[in-house]
Amino acid sequence: MLLRFLKLRLVVNGMHIYSLQKGRPIVVTMPTNPARIVVTDGYHITGPVQITYSPQQKHYFTIACVIENDVLVGGGIFMTLLFFMGLSSGLLFLQILSMAPIFYLLFLYYIKRKEFIQIRRYK
């Protein structure tokens, strides 16, 4: 879900740039053997993945976010539940604790930015 808001690009060997769109596969030509690919949105960048080309073999990858959809929905439910518990009980501690999922998301987005976007081999 978070990947929908990011404008992702695939960079091959630091020179060839391909725009990625959700649900649309792309065919990448490998200028050298082996080739290095990274995915970036301008702020976040994945670690380089080394690909060795052979004519009989195809490589399939998928781009993922460290915060999966179920983690995002679970954090939203947790945040809402704790906030309303704190609001109804009057405990300020629960209202402050309800902000923990937002702080966790911001921590992953800004501090752990090299792991925010991931390249995974598609099976």
Q: What domain range includes position 22?
A: 2-121
What pLDDT, in 10s, does the model give residues 80-115?
998 899 889 988 888 888 899 899 889 988 998 888
Residue 77 confidence (pLDDT) above 90: yes
Structure tokens at 98: 């309800």
16: left (phi over 0), alpha (psi -120 to 50) or beta: beta
What pLDDT, in 10s, does the model give residues 13-72?
888 899 988 888 888 877 788 889 999 988 888 889 888 877 777 888 888 888 888 888
Measure the CA–CA gap between 9 and 17, rounded to whole angstroms: 6
Query: Between the CA of residue 106 and those of 6, 60, 63, 94, 100, what are the distances in Å?
Result: 15, 30, 20, 20, 10
Residue 123 confidence (pLDDT) above 90: no
How many distinct structural domains can be found in the chain?
1
pLDDT at site 1: 61
